[in-house]
Structure formats: structure tokens, C-alpha cells
Amino acid sequence: MKPLGVGLIGTGYMGKCHALAWNAVKTVFGDVERPRLVHLAEANAELAAARGSEFGFEKATADWRALIADPEVDVVSVTTPNQFHAEMAIAALEAGKHVWCEKPMAPSYDAAERMLGAAEASGKVAVLGYNYIQNPIMRHIKQLIGEGAIGSVNHVRVEMDEDFMADPEALFYWKSELSSGYGALDDFAVHPLSLLWFLFGHVEAVITDMLKPYADRPLKEGGRRVVENHDAASVLMRLGGGISAVLMANRAAWGRKGRIALQIYGSKGSIAYDQERMNEFELYQANGRGTEQGFRKILAAPDHHPYERFIPAPGHGLGFNDLKIIECHELIHAISGKPSSTVDFANGLRIEKSVHAMAQSFHERRWIEIAG
């Protein structure tokens, strides 16, 4: 397979993550051709030129449509704010490009459906940036559940908390606009939903409450603007196989930086994991003498593939950007027609459907069944 020609739209936090992944994937894994960083697009020409030089791209532009039209680009990374995902991803797919789009798909369900339709019509690979499922620890937790290490799972609790919107005097920005989505649910809680899908399958029913901790926020130019979406949400859920689940998400949780706390309870034991300590998990197995039973801390190690591709010794730890490199490797495998583990647009749309059902439940104050 010839090297993939890469286009990158957007160079903020996630744009840089994608650039790091494209640059490192050959070095880390060795079994793929080194991608060719062809074209980068940003909001203005000056910024595009600067980021293109920093990230190692051959060309830079202020016109993302020119990037998509570039015949040397085979795959497009879309890392712009949520409200631009649909237009850019659909244009790329219609131009015959593969797409790696950051989550969520789009603020509206109709737009997300159009994204899936474009992917199916194009025949190209289209995946979403849910890199937490790529953690070697998470893969091992899935294996343990499948092996029955904690028996039959009956209850799951997951919490996602960060404090980037905890300060009531922090300036208003696009993440508080309704055009960007519901807030904590789709900007945020889609990550734990991706973990639930990875481990147990899609959510089947929900009932939801949401909260606006602060009614408005200050503007840089003076005055204040009403906060249009919700920064916190609590959801009761039913998963397949009779599993009950609880999801709590809060973007205004002082002291929490990158917390996704996952607790899995089964008939023969429990598993506990926290994304802020992403290189370890705890396992409780109710066997042997009660006097020695207790949670065991298990550290990430070369036995947890593909940890060994990064570090040859246990306990040293991977980071967020390393998970993006693993995701990039899985994407290249998908493009090559090899087995891969990614959230494609079909499964991504099902996650989006869960989010919209949660919002519907909040407004209608009732349980919502999620079909399909």
C-alpha cells in the first residue's frame, strides 16, 4: 500500500493530537507505511503557514475546500469545532477521501445521519475520534469481562468530570452555544458512552436530568451572555442483557481534570478504573479465603498490547496522545482492509442517537426507549 496522503483541517488541541499521531504511527508500530503529510487548513493563511511548518505539512491553506479538492490527499482529519464537522466530513467523503473526524459527529441528529449516508455512499472509511477505547488497559478490561473474570455483569457506573467550565466568571465561548450541541451530553459524555459501547454494546433506554450551574457568563467586550446549554447531566440507563447503568457528566466540577471513573459490578467480582490514572485498574474477585480478598491494583505493562510498542517495562505509563497514535494505527488498518477497532460512523450515529434520546428524556421527563 502506498503512503497515505494526509489532510488536516483545524490545528487546535485535537488538530495537534492528530498531527502527532500521523507523525509517529510508523515509528511506533512499524507495520504501516509512513503517512505523507500533504495539506493543512486553518482559518487564516498566516496561522495555516505557521502550523504547517510546525506540524510538518507540505502545503498550507486558509481554504479547507482546497485541501479536500487536493488529489494528493487520501484521508482527511477533521478537528474543527463540533458545528463544522458535518459539512467538512461530507465534503471530504463526496470527494472520495477517507475521514477521521473528532467526536461528536454533529450537534443535530439530521446532520449526523447525513454524515453516515455520505460515508455509505462513498465506500470510504469514516471513523470518529474516540481514543479512550484504544487504551490497552480498556482492552484488557473487555477481555476480563468476556472471560467471566467477574461473573455476570449486572450494574455499571460511569462518571466524567472536568473543571474547564467550573469558574462562573470564565469567559463565554462556543462550547456554551446551543449551536455546538447540548453541552455535557454530546461534547463530553459521548466519551463514556463510547466505553460502554466498547464493553457492553449500545444503550437501550434512558431517563435524564440536566443542569446549568451558571445562567450566564461574561463577554470579553463587556456585558454577559446567557449560557445556552447544560454543563452537567445525570442519566439512568438500561444496557443489553439486563445491565443497569448510571452516567454522570459535569464540565463544571472543580478539581477534576480528566476523570472518567468506571465501576463494573458482577456476580463474582468488580472492576474499577479512572481515566486520571489511565495506566492502572483495580480488580476484585470473590474467590479464595475471605481473609485475603480485596481489590488488586494492576499496572499497564508490555503484556497489555500494544503498550509494548511504546515502552518495554511495566508501570511507566502511556498518555492521551499515545492513545491517538493507536487510534491512527487502527484507522490505517481499516483503510487497508485489515481488522481494526474503531468507532465507525454507523456506531457513532448510534451513540449520537443515545445522546438525543437523553435530551428528549430531559425535556419530556420520562424514560425513552432507543431502537436500532
Please say if the pLDDT value at position 1 is more than 80: no
CATH of domain 133-316+344-369: 3.30.360.10
Domain locations along the chain? 5-128, 133-316+344-369
- Render pLDDT for 282-309 as a digit per residue (tens, 0 to 9): 999 999 999 999 999 999 999 999 999 9
* Centroid of chain to Cα 248: 16
Q: How far apart are CA 101 and CA 78, in angstroms?
A: 5
For 233, phi and psi rounded to 5 degrees? Answer: -150, 145
Q: State the pLDDT at residue 371.
A: 85
Please say if the pLDDT value at position 226 is more than 70: yes
Beta pairing class for 126-128 and 343-344 = antiparallel
Beta strands in the chain (DSSP E): 5-9, 36-41, 59-61, 75-78, 98-101, 126-128, 153-161, 203-211, 216-218, 224-226, 232-239, 244-250, 259-266, 269-274, 280-285, 296-299, 343-344, 368-369
Helices (H) and strands (E) in the chain, counts: 9, 18
- Render pLDDT for 163-184 as a digit per residue (tens, 0 to 9): 999 999 999 999 999 988 899 9
Please say if the pLDDT value at position 109 is more than 90: yes
Please say if the pLDDT value at position 203 is more than 70: yes
- Render pLDDT for 341-366 as a digit per residue (tens, 0 to 9): 999 999 999 999 999 999 999 999 99
Q: Given pLDDT bands bounded at 50, 70 and 90, which one contains residue 2? A: confident
- Render pLDDT for 309-326 as a digit per residue (tens, 0 to 9): 999 999 999 999 999 999
The yes/no answer on whether domain 5-128 falls in CATH 3.40.50.2300 is no
Please say if the pLDDT value at position 265 is more than 90: yes
